[in-house]
Amino acid sequence: MTDRYLRFTGTAPGRFLTRRLGLPQPVTLHRRSAEHPSLDGSLLHLTAGTSALDLAPVLARTGPAGGDDGHPAAVVLDATGVREVEALAEVHAALHPVVGSVAAGGRVVVLGAPLDAADHHQAAVQQGLEGFTRSLGKEIGRGRTVTLLRLTDAEAAESTLRFLLSTRSAYVTGQVVEVGGGPVTAPEDGARPLAGRTALVTGAARGIGEAVAEVLARDGARVVCLDVPAAAAEVGRVAERLGGSALTLDITAADAGARIADALPDGLDVLVHNAGITRDRRLANMAADRWSPVLDVNLASVLRTTDALLARKVLRTGGRIVATASIAGIAGNAGQTNYATSKAGVIGLVRSLAPRALAEHGVTVNAVAPGFIETRMTATIPFAIREAGRRMNSLGQGGLPVDVAETTGWLAHPGSGAVNGQVVRVCGQSLLGA
């Protein structure tokens, strides 16, 4: 659906009027395209404190490499060595002179260290970087994003830096991502990192699920598109267009996991739990027939099918599970106690299962948590509520299904093996929640 306000603010009269009235001034985001697969411009690498990381080789492979015109397309600040309050002044000193010069649509990535449980000074200071990052994300404007990446191993974080320093992360800002030191696999073909891998996407007939299937297929995966029998024609067209295959079944059926396993005799590398429904009502007006289906589709089916596929070892070593949560599961939402419960449950699943799935099966488990995404569903929301959803984030606009898909593609990447147990909001830094 066309965002007319966004188009208006892109005109000279629109910029003048919105500035005078103090209204949001969103700018069109630069998303990945075949013509512009990466950020245009230079990368500025800064350091605060004393760092033990050797970032130069990784940044040379992952960051923009354009000419320096004084407006860097990306700034990476290594603050992993900041351990005392006094050293936070170096964070200010490094970014204060340059943050205003970052190009429109540019990236600022702050690198921090995991919190040290044995050193409360280090933990306090490194936690302080989270407040710094989230605040800067809310004030930087002009379509620029700010992210905090906690890491110990630069090489293990390569796929994450490649994502954050690219046009693929256009709607991910104000987030905190932690990368461990786990094993990573470099793809043979950087342009098609999922080549030779099989991915299953539930709810793939339309919207976010269709976009996820498209991105995974673009990245080389053979995609199995799953949806309900009633959507057989739609999901079949999607699968045919992407050179994949369609699978129709009721994901809430007791034997859904077994049927998926039977349909994948050669195994699976990427499992994307995207299928979901809403049945909105305030709790006082919510009958059981509006509560139960939402919990069954959005949460119970995810638990059952994940358990079944892991038990039957359908997911191969090095596999990826990516579930779709929601900012409603983080911040709550009036009229969505059922939906928010189910999506918070998905977050609980990820945090509990991630360490065990990696240790026992060699599989990572992560989630994306979309905010206001422009889909056919959000197009039916009343105008005033829709506009509030669009504007109440740091980027001042709704996201697109491809934004969720690109984030899923990063988590599915063979080089993302050190990214585990993360819940990444794709919401333009919504003003709801953290």
Residues designated as active site: 339
Please give the Cα distance from 114 to 117 (Å, whole number): 9
Alpha-carbon Rg of the chain, whole angstroms? 21
Angle, nearest 10°, between helix axes 207-218 and 232-242? Answer: 20
Beta-sheet pairing, 43-49 with 315-324: unpaired
Q: Output phi, psi for 81, to 5 deg.
A: -90, 5
8 A C-beta contact, residue 273 and residue 322: yes
**Residues linked to residue 327 through DSSP beta bridges, in sequence order:** none
8 A C-beta contact, residue 347 and residue 369: yes
8 A C-beta contact, residue 136 and residue 146: yes
**Residues linked to residue 273 through DSSP beta bridges, in sequence order:** 323
The residues near 131 (Cβ < 8 Å, ≥ 6 apart) are none
The residues near 186 (Cβ < 8 Å, ≥ 6 apart) are 414, 415
Provide the phi-psi class of 49: left if phi over 0, else alpha when psi is between -120 and 50, else beta: left
Nearest Cα neighbor of 249 from 270, 224, 268, 267 is 224
Q: Output phi, psi for 270, to 5 deg.
A: -135, 125
The torsion of the CA quartet 259, 260, 264, 270, rounded to 10 degrees, works out to -170
Other residues' Cβ atoms within 10 Å of the Cβ of residue 418 = 23
Angle, nearest 10°, between helix axes 337-361 and 288-295? Answer: 20
Task: Give first-to-last CA distance, the chain, whole Å.
Answer: 27
Residue 428 tokens, joined: 């333009």
Q: In what order do the strands lie in the sheet with 74-81?
A: 43-49, 74-81, 107-112, 145-151, 175-179
What's CA 321's distance to the chain center, in Å?
A: 13
8 A C-beta contact, residue 252 and residue 300: yes
